[in-house]
Chains A and B, each alone.
Chain A
Amino acid sequence: MARSNEVNLNECKMVVPLNTWVLISNFKLAYNLLRRPDGTFNRHLAEFLDRKVPANANPVDGVFSFDVLIDRGTSLLCRIYRPATAEEPQPNVAELEKPVAAEVVPVIIFFHGGSFAHSSANSAIYDTLCRRLVGLCKAVVVSVNYRRAPENRYPCAYDDGWTALKWVNSRPWLQSQKDSKVHIYLAGDSSGGNIAHHVALRAIDSGIDVLGNILLNPMFGGQERTESEQRLDGKYFVTLRDRDWYWRAYLPEGEDRDHHACNPFGPNGRSLEGINFPKSLVVVAGFDLIQDWQLAYVDGLKKAGQEVKLLYMEQATIGFYLLPNNNHFHTVMDEISKFV
């Protein structure tokens, strides 16, 4: 076992820049400490180790942010990122919720990753990513601080996503000038991608229009062990064992991975045929062991006649979008800006 690990470590070191390797390996190490074999989670240590940043109403690189408590009952916070304008380089803190000026302003509701258990909207890695999206898409980004597993299982994360969607949709100051409607996109990485899908599902027939879904390495799975899972298990930072742990932590007790939350096109999934589902941009990393499930997801959308674009990044590992030091990052950012 030790020997094959050596091989693994060397392999994945060769496909990512060193600082990326350090970053993701560090997460992997920390996360190993936090997951307990009995299914509980060391939340105190998790919060201690997570690197967080405060919101900042002073623009940095043209983006400012502020937190909003959108549901007191669940302490649901969102962090809102807005572009500073040329006319108003220093926003008045009394006017953080000033109406958006342009004809069309995309509002991206972002769900951070962390396999449903880790990270927060104010985690440094996600604060950074959201700031990039603002400039990239000339958008307002709303990052949702959803409740996490295992303390809060399915469907809490989806409920929080839905609450955020309704809240965003009902903000007059987020309406585009053109049609006085909020132009909403859902986005997320890892578990966030999963949440985006399910929130979009809930939005169907609700009267709330979601213009598009952006899923970065979305977290899906199933009971079956797929080829990619077996081939890539433990090779690029992620193991099947930890994937299983997170599903056990998120799904209702007693449920298996064919639950529709985990496997939306599986035996318990809902058919999307004939449904008004938003167009999707799905990014899959070639070294992600769950890619078979992600590809199956794309297939499922296609078969249901839904619009979907697949970006398969052959040489990418998980987390490649966290640092702008590789080509995959730039390719993906490019595609996202075109999509929105």
Chain B
Amino acid sequence: MKRDNNHLQPNPDPSSSSSLGGGSSAGKAKLWVEEATQQDCGMDELLAVLGYKVKTSDMAEVAQKLEQLEEVMCNVQDDGISHLASETVHFNPSDLSTWLQSMLSEFNPPSSFDPFGADGTATATALDDSFLCGPAESSTLSTLDFENNNRQHQKSGQQIFEEASCSDYDLKAIPGKAIYSQNTQTQPPTHDSSSSSTHNIVKPEKRLKSSSGSHSDIFPPPPPPAGAASYGIPSDSIRPVVLVDSQENGIRLVHALMACAEAVQQNNLNLAEALVKQIGFLAISQAGAMRKVATYFAEALARRIYRLYPQNPLDHSLSDVLHMHFYETCPYLKFAHFTANQAILEAFEGKKRVHVIDFSMNQGMQWPALMQALALRPGGPPAFRLTGIGPPSHDNSDHLQEVGWKLAQLAETIHVEFEYRGFVANSLADLDASMLDLRPTEVEAVAVNSVFELHKLLARPGAIDKVFSVVEQMRPEIVTIVEQEANHNGPVFLDRFTEALHYYSTLFDSLEGSASGQDKVMSEVYLGKQICNVVACEGVDRVERHESLTQWRNRFTSAGFSPVLLGSNAFKQASMLLALFAGGDGYGVEENNGCLMLGWHNRPLITTSAWKPANNTSPTSTITY
């Protein structure tokens, strides 16, 4: 009984099964199928169903490792075991062999084990030694462990890192509005370089020549099939549902919404119109989250029926406000930033100059925490360069510049050398690596970050491929991606509608418990805009093309990236972050093959994953599938 990604979405609409977005995607779909088959090849099926990937041919070896560990743990005192439990960072428990090996390496000197014999053995010379503790390949970095006030476990090299690290990610210091409250200035700061020890550079904002659809000449878009954007890779067919509302009216409402969507799909607009009105009545009698969700979906359906498509794109100042309220109200963005920053921080270990390229700049809320963590790094902070990319604003204000100035001010107060440049672009696909003033990899380490932006590229054929290619040219140490965990990009409207209905119902339900007032309303409006886009828009206007982790994994691996694993330290800290949210009893973090998911009542809602180009080899915790 396999529940893996071999199942194709059951597709009642046969014509749309051929709507792959362009020639390259067909090739990729084939690659995906091949890879999936390869993945199954030799895996013990029974264990695979239970979540463990062990090749049948490796079974005896895995058993041996278990025995060895058992023996070692018997001989070692309780201290050793507790060290393994609280200090060691664990990665991807599904890959049993590697996990066991990394624990064995904790107890044995690195020279006696060579688990992969490939990249990531003790060629730590390129890195600053003080950050490496234990064998590089075992991926056991020391953890940022709050609870452990007992600094007894001192390994050489670990010592320094741990002592400083307890304050690195002091959760109380995760800034929200605080950074932007009193100190905001609108004019550029005047730097008296003789008095300040840091040298902040905020370069003038660059506007990318944004064209109406196509990107640079190097990648002419392939002729798109009629009406199709890049659905590309078939989705997995997992449809997680959690019912939080069993009221009678709730069920009737859902029925009406589904019936209306079906009518719309069949182009039976008279029926659809009648149903939309009925939904309105039903929604009024409903309470709480379901009423709000139904209202947004009904409105979106109405727009579709009456062809009153929403204005796109949204005015920037309003979307900024909505975004900020969403950030404050619920933990999704904070989780996204937190987990991405953790991965970036680890990837930047030992680097003296770092460069973050942020595809999702917005108000730059992700960066103060990272900058503070870097500032507190033992051995001092690296030089920090930030390139922020965002859409143009309607009033032609230099909003990206303003964000840059605020961050520069922060950098000055925490003594981090800071450089900033903003790029305005209609689409990430308008970017070329040459524009970014990239410096040699030996000099500057790059991280690419994207929170809820990548899916928008799926609206235009070829765009995502262009961006993957450009990212590869950046030669990043790490690419951090946060995306909605949902399939809202299937070819069949009714399926998309259904998925979205369940997804946003769950999301809205999670908001109900949070503090009331303006924050919450704004967050709902923020989500409502997404709903509208998923339901009412089509073609290049439909940008909220969310896809699941399985689908993104396929895209990344097809594009030549390998996973960078997020470990138990990030998991734990994210969990603790969630505990700070009142009314947050339903939130939970899940580990999925090196990625972290945040969910509400066991329904995963957003996923953080990390990647690096497959041909980049350096001793971070990577595996290739």
Identify the A interface with B (CB < 8 A).
Answer: 1-2, 5-6, 9, 13, 18-19, 21-23, 25-26, 29-30, 32-34, 36-37, 42, 44-45, 47-49, 51-58, 60-61, 66-69, 72, 75, 77, 90, 92-97, 120, 122, 124-125, 128, 131, 145, 322-325
Contacts and interface: CB of A to CB of B under 8 A. Distances in A.
Contact of B572 (A44, A72, A131): A44
Nearest to A76: B601
A26 B66 contact: yes
B63 interface: yes
Contacts of A57: 239-241
Interface string B347-380: 0000000000000000000000000000000000
Contacts of A122: 602
Interface residues of B, number: 64
Contact of A69 (B49, B67, B243, B258): B243
A45 B85 contact: yes
A270 B117 CA distance: 62
B568 to A, nearest CB: 5
Contacts of A23: 47, 50, 52
A68 B74 contact: no
Given A23-B47, A60-B1, A90-B10, A54 B90 contact: no
Contacts of B254: 94
Nearest to B242: A67
13 contacts: A19-B46, A44-B568, A48-B90, A51-B52, A52-B51, A53-B51, A54-B240, A55-B240, A56-B239, A58-B239, A69-B243, A94-B254, A323-B46
A33 B84 contact: yes
A124 B70 contact: no
B302 interface: no
Contacts of B94: 51
B90 A45 contact: yes
Given A21-B63, A22-B63, A42-B85, 15 more contacts: A45-B572, A47-B589, A48-B572, A49-B591, A54-B603, A55-B241, A58-B7, A66-B243, A67-B243, A69-B586, A75-B586, A77-B601, A124-B49, A323-B50, A324-B46
Give the top 6 A-B pairs by smallest Cβ distance, nearest first: A51-B51, A54-B240, A124-B51, A67-B242, A44-B572, A33-B85
B82 A36 contact: yes
Contacts of A97: 243, 246, 251
B51 A92 contact: no
B255 interface: yes
B81 A56 contact: no
A78 to B, nearest CB: 10
A213 B572 CA distance: 38
Interface in B373-399: none
B46 A67 contact: no
Interface centre among A22, A56, A96, A128 (most CB of B within 10 A): A22
B96 interface: yes
B509 to A, nearest CB: 9
A222 B3 CA distance: 41
A42 B147 CA distance: 11
A47 B93 CA distance: 11
A34 B85 contact: yes
A133 to B, nearest CB: 13
Contact of B258 (A2, A25, A94): A94
Given A19-B46, A77-B601, A124-B49, A25 B63 contact: yes
A131 B49 CA distance: 12
Contacts of A36: 82, 85
B575 interface: yes
B1 A56 contact: no
A197 B400 CA distance: 63
B605 to A, nearest CB: 11
Contacts of A49: 90, 93, 568, 591
A23 B586 CA distance: 30
A49 B70 CA distance: 18
Interface string B64-104: 00110111011100100110111000100110100000000
B563 interface: no
Contacts of A92: 258
Given A13-B63, A26-B66, A77 B242 contact: yes
Given A23-B50, A47-B589, A54-B602, A18 B572 contact: no
Nearest to B592: A52
Interface string B562-605: 00000010011001100000000110111100000000011110
B178 interface: no
B529 interface: no
B318 interface: no
A22 B59 contact: yes
Interface string B239-267: 11111101000010011001000000000
Contacts of A94: 251, 254-255, 258, 498
Contacts of A120: 602
Contacts of A9: 67, 70
A128 B1 contact: yes
Nearest to A9: B67
A5 B70 contact: yes
A45 B568 contact: yes
B62 interface: yes
Contact of B244 (A22, A32, A69): A69
B604 A54 contact: yes
B568 A48 contact: yes
B625 to A, nearest CB: 17
Contact of B1 (A1, A131, A145): A131
B44 interface: yes
Given A21-B63, A47-B575, A69 B241 contact: no
Interface string B33-65: 000000000001011011110100001101100
B316 interface: no
B171 to A, nearest CB: 14
A2 B73 CA distance: 10
Contacts of A69: 242-244, 586, 601
Contacts of A125: 50
Contacts of B243: 66-69, 96-97
A186 B347 CA distance: 50
B260 to A, nearest CB: 12
B71 A2 contact: yes
B238 interface: yes
A56 B54 CA distance: 24
Interface in B207-249: 237-244, 246
Nearest to B73: A32
Given A2-B74, A42-B86, A60-B3, A19 B81 contact: no
A193 B474 CA distance: 56
Interface centre among B70, B96, B255, B258 (most CB of A within 10 A): B70
B63 A67 contact: no
Interface in B487-524: 498, 502
A186 to B, nearest CB: 22
B238 A54 contact: yes
A53 B1 CA distance: 14
B3 A53 contact: yes
Nearest to B2: A60
B76 to A, nearest CB: 11
A55 B242 contact: yes
Interface centre among B51, B69, B78, B576 (most CB of A within 10 A): B51
Nearest to B9: A58
A75 B251 contact: no
B251 A93 contact: no
Contacts of B84: 33
A44 B571 contact: yes
Contacts of A75: 585-586, 601
Given A32-B73, A52-B590, A93 B498 contact: yes
A17 B604 CA distance: 34
Nearest to B567: A48
Contact of A67 (B3, B251, B575, B601): B601
Contacts of B60: 18
B242 A66 contact: yes
